[in-house]
Structure 1
Amino acid sequence: MPAPSADAVLTEPVTGPSAWTAADFTGESDWVVTLTPEEIGDLETALAAAKARGIPLERLTVTDFPLPVLGKTFEAAVQELEFGRGFTLLRGLPVERWTLEEARLAYWGIALHLGTPVSQNAAGELIAHVRDYGEGEVTESATRAYRTRSELPFHTDSSDIVGLLCLRQAGEGGVSTLSSSMTVHNHLLAHHRELLGLYYRGFVYDRRAEEGSGELPYYRNSVYGYFNGQLSCRFYMTHYIDSAVPKSGIPLSGIERHALRVFQDIAGMDEYRVEMTLRAGDLQLLNNNVVVHGRSAFRDEPGRRRDLLRLWLNTRHARDLPEGFAAFRHGMPRTR
């Protein structure tokens, strides 16, 4: 079960906008793009037309959802994701006046202008609800993290881009935290160079009961890979590393556990992380190649059940990565 090999271990600091720190921002105005009435009108015109035609989501194409005004904003967002800081937040989507089906349809139309959506789980879901399903905590070996109310440590998702559309905030908590994995690598290079090889080799992750018949219930994935002059990151949920041990029979060494703690500690440093609380109508977009994200635990109150719609997608400007570096980058295979 070897990890895909990188061209080399990067031994020079990453430069450019993706290697940001908290001091690079004065506040949320640096990353929030508030949609104009004209842009929202453009979206709702496309939504009404697509709704009237009744085309199933999976068969809808970008030509079925024309956005002559808003499309320019989405292209600028893609440029920021792929070539800039690696995250943005679009504010003002009118989710309060949409039904759930209308929200899903509008979100899908948006996604088609951003890139190609991919499957997120063994059920083949292309749009998944991020909320508390009452299935237990993230520490339980058959539970996917997005289905819990648990605090989630810094991690990436599988596709290049993850989008979270907030339908409702929690009664309490659920604060989103971001950090540049490029800056984390720079810190490791400067202060923990002896650990770098562990991240390039990677860790074994639990598939959380979403493997198909005859497939192993675990896989190895590198945290960092340096390919064609570009550093990329995939740092999946550390809880999935812990729960993989009894399934794989491969124990975690003390130095590997230390490396995992070091990564989390660096990403969470005050001078590196930024925080944001998503409000209804916010669409957060992150590039998993250069940004890691987490969230605080949340608590629902009557009438305030936290609910976000999640999309995984890859843009038309996606970087080249070798097969197997980012497991399930192009979607999780449907096994049920």
Structure 2
Amino acid sequence: MTGATIGDVGWTSEYLESAPGVWSLSVSDEDRRLLWADASAQRWDAGTAAYATVRGFIKSSLDAVGFVNVRNLMSPAASDAELTAALTYLLAEVGGPIEQNARGDLWTVLRDRDGDGATALGFHCDTCDLLCLLCLQPAADGGGVTKLASARHVQDIIERERPDVLELLRQEWTFDRTGRAGEQIVVSPILFTQDDGTVGCYYQTRTVRSSAELDPRRLDALDFLDEVLYRPEIAFGLHLEAGDLLMIRNSRVLHGRSPYVDSPGPLARRVLRAWMAER
């Protein structure tokens, strides 16, 4: 499969498992050291070649499948401030951080809050071009797995099985995001065709279900969409290790998270997150 073909036809979890070279790149310890030294100094020198490889792979994978996983990119032993500065510089040609909450934070560290990790996060799209996640510490119990779904493949299934639902999902829906960062009220189709011909998506089950009184047909459409998203061939699970980067293009890939039970202290799950505007 070429990158263009993948973008046109979508992907299944089976395909991603069979072709990790399309979406996953492992950085050697030596290249990680060079990248860290140059990104921390805010100038490219000895790490130029490694940087070109990583930057090129990120851009090609985002275009091909809508997400990219770079393993062993950064040392989680560095401070949060050092990591955010280095990552901002390293990813500058891909995207720049934007405010992701009402406090105006550009980077936040995701942790378990009062046991909320035990609840799975349903599939959704964040209100930004790119979601950037750097794993600092995975969950001790092996949970907290990121789940990914191709908007194109989701649409293909719904079109085949429930064209009436697809017709509704292509209409405008209201998402009430009051009190969150960015637009407070978003009006958008859930599935749509983008200018480049790829299938686009925008979905947040909580904000759309709480936005207005929905009639039975629209509630049924949302229920069917959720059912499709959790089919095994759709929901691809990706486990991140400490130092791994994941970037997701929100207009083409929906994401969620499996539940996890955290451990207190240094083994507690931590993920550094940024919302980015794509260059």
TM-score by length of 1: 0.72
Q: Distance in 1 between matches of 2:257 and 2:198?
A: 25
* Alignment CA distance shift 1:293-1:242 (3 Å): same
Match 2:200 to one of 233, 247, 256: 233
Indicate if the aligned counterparts of 1:163 and 1:311 stay in contact, CA closer than 8 A: yes
- CA shift, 1:229, in A, is 5.0
Q: Which residue of 2 aligns with 1:150?
A: 119
Q: Which residue of 2 aligns with 1:188?
A: 158
Q: Distance in 2 between matches of 1:89 and 1:229?
A: 23
Q: Distance in 2 between matches of 1:237 and 1:200?
A: 15
Match 2:262 to one of 277, 293, 300: 300
Q: Which residue of 2 aligns with 1:320?
A: none
Q: Which residue of 2 aligns with 1:46?
A: 38
- CA shift, 1:48, in A, is 3.8
- Residues 309-329 of structure 1, C-alpha deviations (whole Å, 9 max, x = no match): 11222333xxxxxxxxxxxxx
Amino acid at match of 2:28: T
* Alignment CA distance shift 1:307-1:208 (3 Å): farther
Say what the alpha-carbon RMSD is for the aligned residues: 2.5
Q: Distance in 2 between matches of 1:220 and 1:293?
A: 20
Q: Distance in 2 between matches of 1:211 and 1:271?
A: 33
Q: How many residues matched? A: 269
State yes or no: 1:122 paired with 2:122. no
Match 2:273 to one of 310, 324, 336: 310
* Alignment CA distance shift 1:230-1:193 (3 Å): same
Match 1:223 to one of 190, 206, 210: 190
Amino acid at match of 1:226: T
Indicate if the aligned counterparts of 1:78 and 1:315 stay in contact, CA closer than 8 A: no
Q: Distance in 1 between matches of 2:24 and 2:247?
A: 11
Structural mapping, 1:58-97, within 5 Å: 64=43, 68-72=48-52, 73-82=54-63, 84-97=64-77
Indicate if the aligned counterparts of 2:96 and 2:278 stay in contact, CA closer than 8 A: yes
> Mean alpha-carbon deviation: is it higher for 306-315 or for 201-210?
201-210
Which ranges of structure 1 fall in alignment gaps of 5 or more residues? 1-14, 51-63, 138-147, 245-249, 317-336
> Mean alpha-carbon deviation: is it higher for 234-243 or for 151-160?
234-243
* Alignment CA distance shift 1:155-1:108 (3 Å): same
**Structure 1 stretches of at least 4 aligned residues deviating more than 4 Å after TM superposition:** 64-67
- CA shift, 1:113, in A, is 3.2
Q: Which residue of 1 aligns with 2:146?
A: 176
Indicate if the aligned counterparts of 2:61 and 2:68 stay in contact, CA closer than 8 A: yes
Q: Distance in 2 between matches of 1:16 and 1:280?
A: 32
* Alignment CA distance shift 1:35-1:132 (3 Å): same
Q: Distance in 1 between matches of 2:79 and 2:196?
A: 45
Give 3-state SS (helix, strand or coil) of 2:263's partner.
coil
State yes or no: 1:37 paired with 2:22. no
- CA shift, 1:46, in A, is 1.7
Indicate if the aligned counterparts of 2:131 and 2:274 stay in contact, CA closer than 8 A: yes
State yes or no: 1:197 paired with 2:189. no
- CA shift, 1:28, in A, is 7.6
* Alignment CA distance shift 1:103-1:198 (3 Å): same
Q: Which residue of 2 aligns with 1:25?
A: 16
- CA shift, 1:256, in A, is 1.1
Q: Distance in 2 between matches of 1:36 and 1:149?
A: 34
Which ranges of structure 2 fall in alignment gaps of 5 or more residues? none
- Residues 191-212 of structure 1, C-alpha deviations (whole Å, 9 max, x = no match): 1111223212232222142379
> Mean alpha-carbon deviation: is it higher for 179-188 or for 234-243?
234-243
- CA shift, 1:170, in A, is 1.7
State yes or no: 1:16 paired with 2:16. no
